[in-house]
Structure formats: structure tokens, C-alpha cells
A and B are shown apart, each in its own frame.
Chain A
Amino acid sequence: MFGTLRTLWLTFLHMGHRRETVGYPEHKPPLPPRYRGRIILSRDPDGMERCVACNLCAVACPVDCISLQKAEQDGRWYPEYFRINFSRCIFCGLCEEACPTYAIQLTPDFEMSEYLRSNLVYEKEDLLISGPGKYPDYSFFNVAGVKIPGKDKGEAEREAPPVDLHTLLP
């Protein structure tokens, strides 16, 4: 008897509270930048693709919904194709955690519903954005040792100039 009255009273008290439920889609709630929504591929500050096709996102993915193939041009690795099957994706963010180049990022966008599952298969053209996303300054090739156009051996961060093998100096 007391319990029933108490429940009625608590419900009555909520009449004065601010409403948490919003009228989506007319009203869109603000989402934090680290919200785990639609996955994108970003570019480095030079505008080149950040993804180096290392396959770590694919192997970290618990539902195996990422597939890609490595290609290479002038020492730069990039994905020949990069496919995410969002009909399988659970938005866990492990791909972003695994990514050594900050290329793959989750964004605060979740409005991806489709009538056809096949429309949820995103290719590289659908995933690639034109900016660096959440990490504006990072460029993987500036810290890696490989040579790419515009960055010779020894020109990365904290690298000495290439060894001269012909010198006789100790």
C-alpha cells in the first residue's frame, strides 16, 4: 500500500522536471566530438590520404567488417580499395584505437539508415573526407623512416642525415 502511494508520488513529482526526451529529428541533440558514429578516413595536413593500408583496423575489428588491399606509389602505401560494411559495424571504435596514423576516425554522425543493406557498404570514396579530422597536425610519414616524394631519408622528425658509406672518418 505504502509502496504504491510512494510510486504515484514520485511520478507526480516528475511533472515539474525538465524533459530529457527531445523531438528528434526536428530537434537534434548536441553530440560530443568523441561520439562513436559514422566512420571516416581522414587526410594528413598535406591533403594526402592518411591511411597506409596497414590492415590493423581490419584485424582489430571484432565483426570483421573492414576489408582493404594495400597499394603503393613512390614509397607511400595507400589502400587500393577500402570497404566498410556498416550493416555489420557495431561502432565499437576499436579500429580507431588500432590505427597508427589517425586515418580512421569515428564521427558524431549516426544518421545512416538505409532501406537496402547493400547501401550500407561504404567504399573508400564514401569514407574519405578532405580534412584531418580530430588530429589536425599529425602526419605519419613525418615520423616514419621510409622515403616518399618530398621527404628524403633523414628528413623525418628526429632523424640524422643518411650515413655516408664512403667516408673514412670514424
Chain B
Amino acid sequence: MATILIDGRACPARTDENLLQACLEAGADLPYFCWHPELGSVGACRQCAVKQFSGPDDKTGRIVMACMTPVTDGAILSIDDPLAREFRAGVVEWLMINHPHDCPVCPEGGECHLQDMTVMTGHARRRYRFAKRTHRNQDLGPFINHEMNRCIGCYRCVRFYRDYAGGEDLAAFGAHDDLYFGRYEDGALENAFSGNLAEICPTGVFTDKPFSAVYSRKWDMRGAPSVCAHCAVGCNTIVNARQGSVRRVLNRYHDAVNRYVLCDRGRFGHGFTTMSTRPRAPTMRQDGLPVPVSIATALDRFAAMAADGPVVGIGSTRASLEANFALRALAGPARFSTGLAQPEHDLTLLVPALLRATPARNPSLHDMEAADAVLVLGEDVCVTAPRLGLALRQTLRRAAYPAADAAKVPRWMDAAVRMLGTDAPSPLLVLTPAPTDLDPIAATTHRAAPDDLARLGFAIAHRIDGTAPDAPDLSEPETRLAGSIAATLRAARRPLVVTGLHHASAALLHAAANIAAALHAAGTDPALSLVVPDGNSMGMALMGGLPLDAVRAMAREGEIGTLVVMENDLTRRLDAAALDDLLSAVPHLVVIDHIATPLAHRADLLLPATAFAESGGTLVNTEGRAQRFLPALAAELPLQESWRWLQQCAQAAGTANAPDWTDLDQVIAAMAREVPALAGAADAAPNADYRLDGRRLRSEPSRISGRTAVRANISVHDRPLPQSPDTPFSPSMEGAYATAMPGALIPFYQVPGWNSVQSLNRFQQEIGGPMRGGDAGTRLLDHDRPHDWHRDIPAPFTPAPDAFLLLPAPRLFGTEELSTLSPPIAARATPATLRLGTLPPGLQDGDTVRFTLAGERIALPIRHDPTLPPGIALCPPHMAARAFATPVRIRLHGNDTP
């Protein structure tokens, strides 16, 4: 720790940071543009000028760029120095020369870093009288708006998009005054993280396009801390809502998980909450037709159904722990299903067991970024867990640190570090059946069928530790590859092995666990990350339950009177014949959901549930971190949380020991008692009794507008705002708000003078470090069980001459159930194709082939992809055939030429 003097005030600082960071951490207001905590310093904007003095006797000092000057112990600097102030005022005046008079019609207005910094610098009057430079804009697709006139040339966008996120289709064009940031031609930004440009850009060049269609100023929107449910990474988000609808989703910083970045699926996937088709009233089937009914009638109907026979509940991996637990309480643990069919059920339950039994760290995303060797085994993480893929990409940047340290270049000196790191070997080893987005930056890539990859994994483990079982009959190239990968991993200090359920292969999971255990035995500090498919797959694995196959067996035996399916579209889990069998054997079907699924149309009783934005709950992410999401909107009856519906159903049916919960905390407490594995979930966030300075927390910014007019068209009389019993938030702008509030309870970022998301700096203990009020969530899984080698080594994959092994190839957009309903995401989802490694005779690229998949006869255009191993075909899951999700052998029937 060093001490620096800022305007005569002694402040603690770290010697591995720069003066700008030190000033911001000390709470000083120093304007800046091009520096970003995750992108480092490049010294492009010259805005953070301060005066540094060489010693106590130096009265003259010199102007330095704070972001490019390392902290040294005893450094003396002045932010308030008249010369430094004049310098900064000059810089912002230059930057503003071409800035258009757009603020009233700019979506960034009110949360604009440029506005904040201009005000902070004191530039209030325009002196430049000449013409402003203008630019034509581009159409950048359904996510991002482009308004190049507003650009101040800080280069943050391309540094994020190209250097950080690995995108290639956004670049800087032109020079000097003509500088232009865009694509080489109009078109959607291809990178999975393009939405972050809206937060990274300090002004309004890149703005959120779907948000612009339902725009509201930042100060007018209620905020609530939430957790993204569109994959298993569990990125922390802020949901902004106004007048009963979700307006946008923003990133909420979590030191260990998503940090500053959110993927486009998470950012733009919330559109399903405002769908017009969404069920909004309980619906009962009468004479074959669905009829909307009241809550009381619906519950009476449920009671009548429950009297007909046992109730069986099918839970969901996209529903919260609390909803699943309420269903488990209604049906009883012996009649509660995870909602997963085999083999996914067993594999999902295997994941936490493996993480507990393998002597390796279960890493957070930030931990993964620090890995010095990464083996990706089978999983295409860039689509199944996009933010995790981005974390793996950052290992490349870490690879440059040794060279930077040797050259005595500070790590925040971004451009220099990247330049020094160009020769550093990549730590990424990607072994997958199909090409992934990580391939271009990987040191080694290898294409093979999942079983062959698993065998390779076992062989690698054996070559690291001889006691691990070896895969027999490896080919010569595979033996060599296994040897070289084993040597690479063995040489690393913090190796990481990543795999997942993408190919529904237990062998891959076992092989990865063996490698991690072998690395541990070899004396390194390994980490093992297993990616599960859905937002709460891990929570469901910890809760446990029956597989869908067991429910089908029960139905066949006539043991089901009423089947309650909660937030689970069984048409995605079971093929049509199996589902028909199940439903025909069940007298009553009750569906609780917040989207109109094909299953909901077949329900005898449909109860409308709340989506994530209207309810609170807990999700467990793929590393076993329980995280709480809280409602941004008050659900209006008859919409209710799934757990409220289920509790009322239990009471209506007169179930013995029917729960009498009145708020979320009681559900969580009951869950902690009954499911010991989830006991820790109670600590995921402070409960509804939390008070800051003796008050509830405000959910709206203090300057929210229109309170006495927004409902005046309905009634001019004030009404008390509905207070949710599930959150510690007040329903209005009344309440406490502080930079030291718990990380799990931050509804928006704002501090005086800092209205943009850059105000986050004030909420962190140190820049890029944990939140002042503590990080959100709590980890439920760590290694605590004895380990044994896994020995189920599969036989090699042999391609059949006339059949293909069809693997699911999930899409970033279009596979995940909820986000696909969001219009901007749907606009980016491309039609399904069948990708083949080898074309059968007589077929050409683009021909349409017919085949049977998951009980459906489908026709798909084929695309020849020579990079695929022979005998392998790829098809996006749930698209062409709704129930297709796990590898299956297919036989192609003839061809029709289109």
C-alpha cells in the first residue's frame, strides 16, 4: 500500500494501479473518457490531466495524464490546480466542438458520461462558431442504434469490441476529424456482446435499440436487482421498469461473475415479459374450450381435481428454487419431478456430485480469467454459456502479463500489454465436435465425436497421473495429442478444465473430472467447471426429484390424478408420442406458466404466473452460486408468483400440512429446513426485513417524475403504492440509498455528479474489486467428498456408412426458450440447417433432406461443413424438431432438390 497526496489530502493507493484509479478510489471527481476499468488505459482522450509535483519543494509541478501515470508512494498531485483545471476545460471544449445539439432526443441523455464530465469540467458555453462535422449512420441490426455525430473519439468501442470481446466487424475508419467507428457496411453486429457498447460508449453513439422503442429516462424508471435466467452463468442484472412493463436490462456488477459485461441474450432477452400472448387470467377448460375464470373458481376447480387422485408435480429448470420447492411441497418429495427426461436428468444430478467429489476448485468466472491453461472438452461454451466463453477469452490477456511484468510495463497499460502479449502462447485448448468461436485464438483445436473426445480426455488424465485409467486403442495422432495436452496442463500452475451437458455425455463429464483430479495429484491448482443448460439447472440438481420417465411410468400405472406442470414446456422435453401417452393417461393437467407454451394450450387449468421481473426468487448458477432476483414490478392479480399459486392450491385441496407462507422469506426458510443442500440459499441476499439507516431501500431514483400525473387519466386520487412483502425495497423513491448498500440489493447506480453507469466506481471497495456492501449471492458447492477415478470409458465412435450421429448445436439466439420469444432476439435467430461433415452420395450443399427426429418427420436444408468429423451431423436443438436436445443417430431419407 502506498500513500499519495491529492490536493493535500493523504489517500491510500495501490502501486499496481494508476493515478486515475487512485483518485477515483479516493472519492475525488476527476473526469475521464477513454479509461475503463476492464479495458485499461490508452491515454487517448487527455481528459484526466492532473498536476504532479516531484516533491514538497516543487511548487511548479507538471501536467500528467492520471490514467497513464503509475502510483508511486508519496506522489503529490493536484486535481484542483488552476493549470490542470484549465487544461481539462480546454480538452472537453475540443471534444465538444463537433458534438451535436442532440441531448433532448438522445437516449443517453440523463445517464451520459459525456454530460457528467462536461458539467464536472465546467464547460457550459459554446465558443466555437464554425460548422460541425457530421457523419452518416449505419444500421447495426436489431440491438444497437448508431449515431456517429455524437462520437468524441475515445476508442472505447473498438477496444471493447475487438480487443476484449474478440469481435471483428466493428472498426475505426478514417483519421483526424473524420474518425468513424462502424462496420465496413450496414449489418447486424455479429459479436455476442455487442449490447455492451451501449454501456461502454461514454456518449450516445451506440444506444440500446429495443429500449429506445419503449424509452424512458433513467430517472423515471424503477430498478430492481435481478439475475439473468437465459443460461446457467447467472449474470447479475438490473431490471428497469416503468408503468407496469420492463423497459430494459442492464449489467449489474458482480466481482466474481459477470463483472462489467452482459451477453446480448441476457440484455435483450426480456421481451417475453411483455408478450401479448402471455396468459393473464386463470383459464379453465369447459366443453373443450378455455374460459377465463376468477382465482377462487380456479382454486375450487383445482380442489375438485385433487380429490380425484394423487397430485404429481413437474418442476422446471427455468423456474426459481422457491417455485420448485412450493411444487415439491404440494406434491410431496416422492411425487415431484425435475422436469428433465433421461439422460439429461441423471447428467444434471451428476454435475454437483462430480463438483463435490473432484479435488479441484469450482471456479467463478473471474477465477477462470486467471487460468494459465484451459482445456475445453466438448462444450461449445460460446453459445451454451456466452459470458463464460468471454471469460475464457480473457485468459489470453493474462498470458501477456509475464512479458509485461518482465518489461516493467504496468498491467493496466492496455495497448502496450497487448502488444507485448502478441507472442505469448495461447492457453486455450479446444476439443469439440464442431468449430467454436474460441478456435481462432486457441493454441490447439481438435475435432472428434463426443465419445472420442471423452476417450481423449481419459487418456490425458492418464498421462498426467499414471494411476488414472487410460483409454484403450487410441490412434497414433490421438496418443500424441493426449501427450502434448497433458504436458501443457501439467506445466500450468492454475489449469482449468471446462465441459458441460451440451452433448449429454456422462463420459465427457467423467473424463473432465479425471483430468482435474489428475492435475491435483500432480501438484497443480486445477479448476473444474461444468456447464449446465438452464438458469436453475444446478438448483434443480441440488433439490433433486424424479425424472420425467418415472412420471410417465406412474401415469401408465394410473397413479396420477392431477399432473401439475410448472413453468416447463414438456413439448421441449418429450417427443410428441411420449407426451401424448403421458397426457392421455392423466385425468387432469394443470399448467402454471408465464408464457403461452404449446403445453399450456392443452391444460385443463392454466394458472398465470409471474415472470422474473414481477417476482422474487433464487437461481443457482453453474458454479453453484445461489443468487436472488427481486421484483421490479408489482404483479397485478390474477398474476401471481408460481409459489403463491401452488401454496393456494395446496390449501384449497386441503393437503395435510399445507404451507401458510405469506412472503418469500418464509418459503426460503422452509426450503432451507427441508432441503439441506439448499440451506445456504437463504444467505443469497438480505431478506425483506433488511433496513438501511432504519429505512427500506428506495426502488426509484429520487428524481422520478410524473407521480401525480402518470395515473391521473384513471383517477386523480392518490392511492397507496402496493408494498411487496418479498423485498426490502419501498415501492417509491422514498427510502435509503447508499454506495455501501449490499451488492445483492442495488437497484441502480447513481451518485451526485455521476449519473451514468460509470458511477459504479463509487460502489466498489476498489476499482474492479468487490462491492462495498459485499458481493451478491452465496456459493453452495465446494469439494468436500472423497474422490475416485471414473472408469466408464466409452468405445470409439465408428461412423456408420448410411447413418449420422446428430449432435445438438445450440444457437446463441433461438435455442433458449424464453429469450427466443423476445422480438430482437427472434430477429437474430436464423433458420435451422443440418450441417454434415461428409455429404452422402447424390446430395449437394443446399439440398433439402428428410429424416425423422424426436418423433417428427422434418425436412431441412443441408450445409456441408468439412471441419466436422466424419459421420457427425449438427442440428440446432428445439428448432426443427421441438423435442430434440440430445445426440441421436439419424438416417437420411432421400433428397428433394429445392
Which residues of chain B are near A88, meaning CB under 8 Å? 708-709
B709 pairs with A66, CB closer than 8 A: yes
Contact A154 B134 (CB under 8 A): yes
In the complex, what distance in Å separates the CA atom of A140 from the CA atom of B100?
Answer: 12
**A144 within 8 Å of B by Cβ?**
yes
Describe B's contact surface by its main secondary structure. Answer: loop
Chain B, residues 111-152, CB within 8 Å of chain A (1/0): the string is 000000000000000000111111111000000000101100
Q: Which B residues touch A121, using CB under 8 A?
A: 709, 712-713, 716
CB of A55 within 8 A of CB of B134, answer: no
Is A163 touching B708 in the complex (CB atoms < 8 A)? Answer: no
Within 8 A of A (CB), among B701-736: 703-710, 712-713, 715-716
Contact with B along A72-102 (1 / 0, CB 8 A): 1000010000011101100000000000110
- What residues of chain A lie closer than 8 Å to B102, measured between beta carbons? 144-146
Given contacts A146-B105, A158-B132, contact A68 B706 (CB under 8 A): yes
| Chain A residue nearest to B243 in the complex (CB) | A69
Q: B709–A161 contact, CB under 8 A?
A: no
Q: Are B101 and A85 in contact (CB under 8 A)?
A: no
B104 interface residue per 8 A CB criterion: yes
Give the chain A neighbours of B147 by CB distance below 8 A: 145-146
**CA distance in complex: A83, B710 (Å):** 8
Is B219 an interface residue, CB under 8 A from the partner? yes
A11 within 8 A of B: no
- From 42 to 91 in chain A, residues with beta carbon under 8 angstroms from any chain B beta carbon are 52, 54-56, 58-59, 61, 63-70, 72, 77, 83-85, 87-88
211-241 of chain B: CB within 8 A of chain A: 212-213, 215-217, 219-220
Residues of chain B with a CB closer than 8 A to A85's CB: 708-709, 712, 716
Report the tally of A-B residue pairs with Cβ distances under 8 A.
130
Which of these, B149, B173, B212, B705, contacts A59 with CB under 8 Å? B705
Decide if B716 touches A58 in the complex (CB within 8 Å).
no
B260 within 8 A of A: no
Task: Decide if B173 touches A165 in the complex (CB within 8 Å).
Answer: yes
Residues of A near B215 (CB, < 8 A) are 70, 72
Q: Which of B110, B136, B707 contacts A162 (CB 8 A)?
A: B136
The CA-CA distance from A82 to B702 in the complex, in Å, is: 22
CB distance from B78 to the nearest CB of A (A): 35
Closest CB-CB distance, B752 to chain A, in whole Å?
16
Is there an interface contact between B709 and A83, defined as CB atoms closer than 8 Å? yes
Q: Does A109 contact B (CB under 8 A)?
A: no
Residues of B with C-beta under 8 A to A120: 716
Q: Contact check, A153 vs B104: say whether CB atoms are below 8 A apart.
A: no
A64/B708 in contact, CB under 8 A: yes
Q: Is A134 an interface residue (CB 8 A)?
A: no
Q: How far is the CA of A69 from the CA of B221 in the complex (A)?
A: 12
Does A143 reach chain B (CB closer than 8 Å)?
yes
Q: Does A118 sit at the interface, judged by CB under 8 A?
A: yes
Cα-based distance from A103 to B369 in the complex (angstroms): 52
Residue B89 lies at the interface, judged by CB distance under 8 Å to chain A:
no
Of B101, B132, B703, B709, which is within 8 A of A67 by CB? Answer: B709
A34 within 8 A of B: no
By beta carbon, the residue of chain A nearest B213 is A72
The distance from the CB of A162 to the nearest CB of chain B, in whole angstroms, is 5
Within 8 A of B (CB), among A107-139: 117-118, 120-121, 123
Question: Which range holds the interface residue count of chain B?
Answer: 35 or more
B178 touches A (CB below 8 Å): yes
Indicate if the CB atoms of A163 and B178 lie closer than 8 Å.
yes
**A160 close to chain B: CB less than 8 A:** yes
Closest chain A CB from B114 CB (angstroms): 14
Q: Contact check, A83 vs B712: say whether CB atoms are below 8 A apart.
A: yes
Chain B residues lying within 8 Å of A165, measured Cβ to Cβ, are 173-174, 178, 180
B290 within 8 A of A: no
- Please, which residue of chain B has its CB at the minimum distance from the CB of A163? B178
A66 touching B706 by the CB < 8 A rule?
A: yes
Decide if A162 touches B105 in the complex (CB within 8 Å): no
Q: How far is the CA of A40 from the CA of B695 in the complex (A)?
A: 40
Chain A residues in 8 Å Cβ range of B712: 67, 83, 85, 118, 121
In chain A, positions 141-170 with a C-beta closer than 8 Å to chain B are 143-147, 153-154, 156, 158-163, 165
In the bound complex, how far is the Cα of B707 from the Cα of A70, in angstroms? 17
Chain A contacts for B879, CB-based, 8 A: none
A35 to B249, CA, bound (A): 44
Q: In the complex, are the beta carbons of A145 and B705 less than 8 A apart? A: no
Residues of A within 8 A of B677 (CB): none
Cβ of B103 < 8 Å from any Cβ of A? yes
User: Does A52 contact B715, Cβ atoms closer than 8 Å?
Assistant: no
- Name the distance in Å between B111's Cβ and chain A's nearest Cβ: 12
Which one of A56, A64, A147, A159 contacts B104 once the chains associate, using CB atoms below 8 Å? A56
B309 in the interface (beta carbon within 8 A): no
Bound CA span A69–B245, Å: 13
Q: Verify A52–B104 contact, CB threshold 8 A.
A: yes
By a CB distance below 8 angstroms, the chain B residues around A162 are 134-136
Cα separation A66 to B706 with both chains bound (whole Å): 5
Residues of B contacting A100 with CB < 8 Å?
Answer: 103-104
Contact call A64/B709, Cβ cutoff below 8 A = yes
Residue numbers in A under 8 Å from B177 (CB-CB):
163
- Are A118 and B100 in touch, CB under 8 angstroms? no
Residues of B within 8 A of A101 (CB): 104
- A83 to chain B: closest residue by CB: B709
Contact partner of A159 (CB less than 8 A), chosen from B134, B217, B705, B709, is: B134
> How far does the alpha carbon of A161 sit from the alpha carbon of B135 in the complex, in Å?
8
Contact status A158-B131, CB under 8 Å: yes
Instruction: Decide: A65 near B135, CB < 8 A? Known: A56-B104, A70-B215, A165-B180.
Output: no
Return B216 CB to nearest CB of chain A, in Å.
7
Pair A64/B706 contact, Cβ less than 8 Å: yes
Residue of B134, B180, B217, B709 touching A145 (CB-CB under 8 A) = B134
Of chain B, the residue at the smallest CB distance from A99 is: B104
Chain B positions within 8 Å of A123 at CB level = 713
Contact A144 B220 (CB under 8 A): no
Cα(A7)–Cα(B110), bound, Å: 59
A50 to chain B, nearest CB (A): 11
A117 touches B716 (CB 8 A): yes
A66 touching B705, Cβ below 8 Å: yes
- Measured CB to CB, the nearest residue on chain B to A54 is B104
B706 adjacent to A153 (CB under 8 Å) = no
Question: Known contacts A52-B104, A61-B705, A165-B174; can you find 12 more A-B pairs with CB under 8 A?
Answer: A64-B705, A64-B706, A66-B709, A67-B712, A69-B243, A77-B104, A83-B706, A88-B709, A144-B102, A163-B133, A163-B177, A163-B178
**CB-defined A-B contacts under 8 Å, sample of 21:** A54-B104, A56-B104, A59-B705, A61-B706, A64-B704, A64-B707, A67-B705, A67-B710, A69-B216, A72-B212, A77-B105, A83-B706, A83-B709, A87-B716, A88-B709, A118-B712, A121-B709, A121-B712, A147-B137, A158-B130, A158-B131
The 9 tightest CB contacts between A and B, nearest first, are: A145-B100, A67-B706, A54-B104, A58-B705, A67-B709, A145-B149, A160-B131, A85-B712, A85-B709
